[in-house]
Amino acid sequence: MSPPEVAGSPGLRSFSRIELGFWLRRHLLVLLEKVKKSRQGPVAGDITAAMTRFQSGVALLMILTACGTPASEDASRPLDELFEEAWEFRLSENPLFATSTGDRRYNDRLPSVTVEDEARRAEYWREMLKRLQSIDRSRLERQDQVNYDIFKLLLEDRIAGFEFQSHLIPILADSGFHIGFARLPKRVPLSSVEDYENYIARLRAFPLYVDQHIELMRRGLEIGFTQPQVILQGYETSILAHIADDASQSVFYEPFEKFPATLAESERQRLASLGEAAVLEAVSPAYRKFLDFFVGEYRPAARTTIGASDWPDGRRYYTHLIEHFTTLPLSADEIHQTGLQEVARIRSEMQEIIAQVGFQGSFDEFLNFLRTDPRFYAKTPDELLRNARDISKRMDAKLPAFFKTLPRLPYGVEPVPDSIAPKYTAGRYVGAPIGSTQPGFYWVNTYALESRPLYALEALTLHEAVPGHHLQNALRQELEGLPHFRRFTGFSAFGEGWGLYSERLGLEAGFYTDPYSNFGRLTYEMWRACRLVVDTGLHAMGWTRQQAMDYLASNTALSLHEIRTETDRYISWPGQALAYKIGELKIRELRRKAESELGAKFDIRAFHDAVLLNGSIPLTVLESQIKAFIQERR
């Protein structure tokens, strides 16, 4: 039955008990604030009105409780059970993922990734989708409908990924299963004997893990579904770094060089001996086997084309990847045109800065000046890291002016590991596993310092650290009241869109006061706009690798080394480069809408909470959430 209307609170009867609880909490805070202000002057009428609304809400909550459990809550039970079952399946199927969430039950295992395993998982997700669709979505409360929609999207995406056989390519130009495994010593708990034994068990399991990936890659070779040969030159350095004749030279032995104080000396010696044997007998030989396969079999037979459209069923696959990474129903042509328009706009702003600094010469000459003048480059890795840390700390102090809610988890600034630095991007955020003692890390690439311009460092830092990826990801992990899958799901367009939006937010926070740094910000924005043109050009329009590099070189101030590594990343990871600019454009569009409709009621801190405190979500869901935010603020 529907609860009756309560005097003084029109529209409240449409609330569920859960929503009403949040409403009451919000209005109690309003009431307390007005009482506090009353000490500074007479606002009795305001207090009376606030008290009336709060009392009305309490009355309605009592009525709703007396009426019993509504049908919407009954409908949510099978949905919650489905979420929980799927979560447990995901944890058991991917022990590395389970560890990253703080679940220690599978800490002695690695995933099994045979073709049969992948097929079995896909069948499970198909059955899960059928069960989800049997639930009447219309009977669910609004938040459960959002959970339903996001879960459905994830299920459909996993099924499509299997059908397009994405599991047959487990490496990218700057990452891969073997690179991820090398982070294991920093990604697992190591505080007890059991933790160390689990870690050793995983080291011992690595040879089978490598064998399974080799078989996947061989299957890819058979059907022409491989990475392009041209981007794999030099890739073997990421494998060679982990082949050691002396265990003490391996990153995998680091946990045995410094034990927790609670471990007895006898245990330390035993574990160190077991760890050394695991590194020398399992890990190093497995990396050597993968190196032999990669150099002798995979790279020589890899495809000589570069576009996704050249894969089997590649054009349809690229269409899927566009929607996967943008969470919007866009075509390659639409995105390409958007990119061209953004490039033209940003180019105009760049020209204004060139005029501002009084440079006499062409645009290309100015870019060459930025790439070659020593004043724009750090002399040592430490100098580059110090600059990155200084920018991070200055932004930390600005955060309360722009955000109501800040994460508890801190972050550090570290160099990119040497083993992957040559083909790695300028910087990246690496989150901390749940339940670990690790902070998040903003990685700065100190390799080839002549290619790491200081004028771009402010934009890079705001994107990767705060208010970008660290702030967004740490908040997502700390959210409460969401299903597990929501807290541990990342949508690229949301996350990377937020990162690029964060770069621009630096203007409002007082950064980019130096015109060259502002040009660096613009060149980073131009870089993301160019990605829309280059990614669609490479994967849908037949562009060559050189054509893509020339386009980036003529429109951005990125170093030529970085242009090569970035182009190879776009080639190896079709569609991912689209997420940044598409996501940023949507967030900026929604902010303009909120500012326009709310006027003086617009609060930037409240808006940022509305964007971030639902976790990572598709852009279509974000749009509906901001519309609700605008209505509520009215």
Give yes or no for a cis peptide into 300 (omega within 30° of 0): no
| Helix H or strand E segment including 364 | helix 363-372
Q: How many CB atoms lie within 10 A of CB 121?
A: 19
pLDDT of residue 434: 78
Cα 557 to the chain's mean position, in Å? Answer: 25
Q: Which residues pair with 430 in a beta bridge?
A: 441
Q: According to the model, what pLDDT value does residue 16 have?
A: 45
Mean pLDDT by 10 residues, the chain (634 residues): 33 42 49 49 51 55 47 78 98 97 96 98 98 96 95 98 97 96 95 97 98 98 97 95 96 96 94 98 98 98 97 97 97 98 98 97 95 96 98 98 97 94 91 85 96 96 98 93 92 98 98 98 96 98 97 91 94 97 98 98 98 96 96 92
For the record, the structure tokens of 339 come out as 């990119």
In angstroms, rounded to a whole number, what is the distance separating the alpha carbons of residues 111 and 610?
Answer: 36
State how far the Cα of 248 lies from the Cα of 141, in Å rounded to an integer. Answer: 56
Nearest to 444 by CA among 417, 466, 410: 417
Cα distance between residue 218 and residue 290, in whole Å: 12
**Residue-level pLDDT at 572:** 97
Confidence at residue 433, expressed as pLDDT on a 0 to 100 scale: 80
Q: Alpha helix locations (H) across 231-362?
A: 237-240, 265-278, 284-293, 299-301, 314-326, 332-356
**Mind giving me the DSSP string for 34-90?**
HHHHHTTS--HHHHHHHHHHHHHHHHHHHHHHHT-S-HHHHHHHHHHHHHHHHHHHH
pTM: 0.85
Contact, 611 vs 498, CB < 8 A?
yes
**pLDDT (0 to 100) of residue 430:** 93
Tokens of 171: 């490496």
| Domain locations along the chain | 12-68, 74-305, 317-586
pLDDT at 72: 54
- Both tokens of residue 315? 């054009």
Up-side HSE of residue 247: CA atoms within 13 Å toward CB? 19
The torsion angles phi and psi of 429, rounded to 5 degrees, stand at -95, 135
